[in-house]
Amino acid sequence: MRSTPPSAPSPTRRRAVELVLLAAAVGAVAVAMVQAGSGGGPSLGPSLGYSAVLGAVGVLGHLAIRRTAPCADPLLLPCAVLLSGAAVAVAYPLHASQPGPSVDAAHAAAESAVRTQLLWAAAGLLVFAAVVYALRDPRLLRRHARTAAIGAVVLLLLPLVPGLGFTVNGGQWIAIPGVPTQPVEFAKILLVIAFAGYLAAEHGGRTPATGGAAGSGTGPTRLVAAAVVVGVLCIGVMGPLMHDFGTSTLVFGAFLAVAYTAIRRVRWPVIGAAAYIAACAVVIPLSAAFGPGPACGAGTAAPCTEGAEAGSATFASASDAGGGIVGGGLGAGRAAIPADAVLAGVGEELGLIGLLAVLATLVLLAQRAIRAATAAEEPFVRALAAGLACLIGLSPVLAALGAVHLIPATGATVPFLAMGSAAALSGGIVLALLVRITHDSTASGPGARP
């Protein structure tokens, strides 16, 4: 009797697992918010209300998945909700520690920051639900690869417009009235779509055995040309002109991940990474010749001095060290670190154990994205998932290294943890794309079943 391949878990079981994990994530967030309130943060009522809002939006995302992508990975949404809730929980101590005219004013500003962070976390999950519902086939994005590339370049150059852009700890922002935002967060996603579309079209059929390429049958010439163009964009524009080597590293890393997925040859990404590191070793010391970056805040003329950045690095390092093994507890941290150095805040509040738990959740998200890339059959979808996995996995590394100045101030944000509107909204888009990719690969796989 011929054996049949083991079937994948049914969609009903996947969604049941997701709902249980989502409830556990919301429960953990509620406990964290209550603990933050006992340390001087919001009182019990608002803390539970914030958790309920996050849980309600998470359930809405679950319903969107259940209706339109029932075969999707059940771990993605709960991990994102858990990280978003952690960002809300640590928002109060991070902002309460900032200098202010009085203690009461600092507490009021911190409570406002908590509500703002909750608003953007909920908005990110709503965007996630909308994209999951609207985008029924991620392969359709391949048609818009060229448009995505043009849009990404425009978004990357917006902070260079006089009077519009400014810099905060290496991150490039634009001053939209009422809502300052980082356009690079959306540009990263568009660039990954553009990379995947181009490399899948040119090298999607390349195999190690034949060395041939799909489509035009060209060799590595087009790949090298694409790498040069991306390298010039990252090293020549984003680095010295925008003082954003972290984002440039993230973009080039995503390109290498997509390239490896498309051509399946290790030597080309290794050569590209070595060339990029060598170029950075030359360009970074020379970037000071372009002058200091724009002002460090919307409406202010204070420059981003090296002393201020060094002070931020000192406070971030002290916060990580002061947290110890188990941390001081949510709401107990009071180091005057920048609000965007969220990993340092987590290290102080939750200690080494809590920081490792957060990093493990991010690693799990990246691993699920890599798994989606390996399971996808269509070259574009496979390359897209690999690029998104790089965005999730490399961002916290760059953010952590930049916070303590082991590398130049990066401006890189931690997915679902970063403070701000663009990071939350772009995180929802990335999560939605991964949900769609995992649904399609599971539904069409050999072990799929209704």
DSSP run (H or E) holding 443: helix 421-443
Residue type, 172: Q
- Which residue in 142, 223, 230 sits closest to 188, CA to CA? 230
Contacts of 280 (CB under 8 A, 6+ apart): 235, 239, 245, 249
Nearest-angstrom CA–CA distance, 49 and 35: 14
Choose between 208 and 268: higher pLDDT.
268
> Measured between alpha carbons, how far is 156 from 149 in angstroms, rounded to an integer?
11
Average pLDDT over residues 106-127: 84
Q: What is the pLDDT of residue 262?
A: 81
Of the ranges 141-145, 352-356, 396-400, which is most confident? 141-145
For residue 211, name the pLDDT band (cuts at 50, 70, 90): very low
Q: Are 174 and 157 in contact (CB under 8 A)?
A: no
* pLDDT value of position 190: 96
d(CA 380, CA 392): 19
Q: What percent of the chain has pLDDT over 90?
A: 33
pLDDT of res. 9: 72
- The whole-number pLDDT of residue 390 equals 95
What pLDDT band is residue 450 in, cutting at 50, 70 and 90?
very low
Q: What is the mean pLDDT of residues 211-223?
A: 53
Question: Within 13 A of 380's CA, how many CA atoms are on the CB side?
Answer: 16
Residue 286: band (very low, low, confident or very high) from pLDDT cuts 50, 70, 90 = confident
* pLDDT over 80 (residue 96): no
pLDDT value for 207: 44
Average model confidence (pLDDT) across the chain: 78
For the question of whether the overall pTM of this predicted structure is more than 0.75, the answer is yes
Q: Answer yes or no: are the C-beta atoms of 35 and 329 closer than 8 Å.
A: yes
- Across the range 90-94, mean pLDDT stands at 73
Tokens of 33: 């918010």
How many whole angstroms from its chain centre is CA 398? 11
User: Is the model's pLDDT at 242 over the cut of 70?
Assistant: no
- Per cent of the chain over pLDDT 70 is 71
Mean pLDDT, rounded, for 280-298: 59
- Residue 174 pLDDT: 82
Q: Which ranges in 69-203 belong to alpha helices (H)?
A: 76-96, 103-134, 145-157, 184-203
Write out the two tokens for 334.
């009071």
Instruction: Supply angle C-alpha 408, 413, 419, rounded to 5.
Output: 125
Residue ranges per structural domain of the chain: 11-443
Residue keyed to tokens 């949900």:
435
- Is pLDDT larger for residue 340 or for residue 5? 340
Q: What backbone phi and psi angles, to 5 degrees, belong to 324?
A: 65, -150
Residue pointed to by tokens 């001081």: 328
Residue 128 has pLDDT above 70, yes or no: yes
Comparing 167-176, 202-211, 274-283, 337-346, the range with the smallest average pLDDT is: 202-211
Q: Residue 256 pLDDT > 50, yes or no?
A: yes
Average pLDDT for 234-259: 81
CB of 193 closer than 8 Å to CB of 201: no
Give the model confidence (pLDDT) of 405-438 as tens digits.
Answer: 777 666 678 889 887 778 899 999 999 999 999 9
Instruction: Kindly state the average pLDDT of the residues 43-60.
Output: 85
In whole angstroms, how large is the CA radius of gyration of the chain? Answer: 22
